[in-house]
Amino acid sequence: MCIYGTDCVDCGPRTATAPPRPPPPPPARSLGCSNTCDSFDDGECDDGGDGAVYSECAGGTDCTDCGPRDMSVVGFALQLAGDVSSFTPLVRTEMQSAIATVAGVHPSSVTVDVTSGSVIVNVRILTPTTNATSVQSAVVSATSTPNSTTSMFASVSGVSVTVLAIVTPPTVSASTPSPTVSASPPPSANRGDGLPCFPSSATVVLASGAKKSLDALQVGDEIIVATAEGVLTTDTVSALSLADNDAESTFLVLSTAAGRNVTLTEAHHVPVGPSCCATLKTAIEMKLGDTMWLSSTTGAAMPSAVTKIATVSKKGLHSPVMTNGHFPLVDGIVTAFDSINMVTVASYGIPILEATGTIELFKRVAFDSQRKFI
């Protein structure tokens, strides 16, 4: 409040030189703490950070199970050939997936901003601070030259990504502190557009061989499904199946080399890999070349590679949940109504609920009043 040395009665005599000012306070810690992970609050840490059991979601997004995470950003910038207009939302999504694969993080951890100036791409990878050095090292290796960086984007379709220069090499910085830290699910966690679903126009095949659109599906309908071993059989549609005919949402369209397409929300799961059907990915995690599983006339699911990923807006949100936990074939492609753990639990729990007549009570207790069922 006063000039140094002008409050002698209270402070006593002062030397001629003022003492150094105290150092500034350390920057605020940036804590990642949300519950936007699909498998939050399941008793297992799934965000890939220290102590995590799985790496199914971005760092800091499974706060109830993992606790708050100190977060850092690994950032770099590239100059690309071409025109900004070529880098559509789908192309940027595929670039995110390519970078996430190299960095060993969930695709939702990666932000890709494209600006003019030839084409300048600014990349931010949000990661727990304990993982930042390894993420940086992986990205430094992949972006050591323009040619190696171009190779990183080989899986991107729709535009040929050619890197002209590394404008800024990968560096680690503190993440901007979040305005709030909360272990509660965000308000949107139970909105229909966050559910794993298909549009109303998607179809299944009944046990009789007839096709039926999802908006006409009923509890008790018997449809073609696949077992965890990829054997085609039938299962009944349970009362836990979701159905909202009025919702309008943006979907991903996964096209296969066999000419079949499936339209589904980003959060919906599909079996992938060299064998059907216990290994699952969400639609947003799918990449070109991933193997999906289709219906066939041989009694077993057949493989086909993903050749195109697009987006589309459609009406309706539907998800057939099978009584015995099998995998419904939607538009001729094997799908899963939830993660493999939840599908397994459902295969035991739903028959018990139906046998005891308590499935309606379960719906009222386990789900919010906005959830719409068949």
What residues contact 288, with CB distance under 8 A and at least 6 apart?
94, 155, 157, 305, 306, 307, 308, 309
The amino acid sitting at 315 is: K
pLDDT tens readout for residues 102-143: 998 888 888 888 887 678 899 999 888 888 899 999 999 999
Q: Does residue 19 carry a pLDDT above 50?
A: no
Confidence of residue 5 (pLDDT cuts 50, 70, 90): low
- Residue 93 sits in the same domain as residue 150: yes
Kindly state the tokens that stand for 132.
Answer: 């930042």
Domains contained in the chain, number: 2
pLDDT of the residue at 171: 92
Q: Do 187 and 170 form a contact (C-beta atoms < 8 A)?
A: no
Kindly state the tokens that stand for 180.
Answer: 């709030």
pLDDT of the residue at 194: 59
Bigger pLDDT: 190 vs 146: 146
Q: Which of 2-16, 190-204, 216-230 has the highest mean pLDDT?
A: 216-230
- The Cα-based distances of 21 to 14, 25, 28 in angstroms read 15, 12, 20
- Residue 217 sits in the same domain as residue 305: yes
Bigger pLDDT: 185 vs 262: 262
pLDDT of the residue at 370: 84
Domain end, chosen from 174, 202, 234, is at: 174
Provide the domain limits for residue 236: 193-366
pLDDT of the residue at 31: 58
* Helix or strand run (H / E) with residue 77: strand 69-80
- pLDDT averaged over every residue in the chain: 84
- Residue 85 sits in the same domain as residue 113: yes
Does residue 277 have a cis peptide bond before it, meaning omega lies within 30 degrees of 0? yes
- Residue 205 sits in the same domain as residue 353: yes
pLDDT of the residue at 153: 93
Q: Does residue 147 carry a pLDDT above 70?
A: yes
- Residue 170 sits in the same domain as residue 243: no
Measure the CA–CA gap between 338 and 327, rounded to whole angstroms.
10
pLDDT tens readout for residues 33-71: 777 777 677 788 888 777 888 777 788 888 888 888 888
Residue 300 falls within a domain, yes or no? yes
- CATH number of the domain that residue 91 is part of: 3.30.70
Residue 262 falls within a domain, yes or no? yes
- CATH number of the domain that residue 239 is part of: 2.170.16.10
Side-chain-side CA neighbours of residue 357 (13 Å): 0
Bigger pLDDT: 132 vs 334: 334
- Residue 216 sits in the same domain as residue 289: yes
The amino acid sitting at 341 is: N
Percentage of the chain lying above the pLDDT 70 cut: 85
Residue 123 falls within a domain, yes or no? yes
pLDDT of the residue at 26: 42
Q: Does residue 193 carry a pLDDT above 90?
A: no
Measure the CA–CA gap between 275 and 226, rounded to whole angstroms.
12
Lowest average pLDDT, out of 14-28, 198-212, 237-251, 331-345, goes to: 14-28
Average pLDDT over residues 239-251: 92
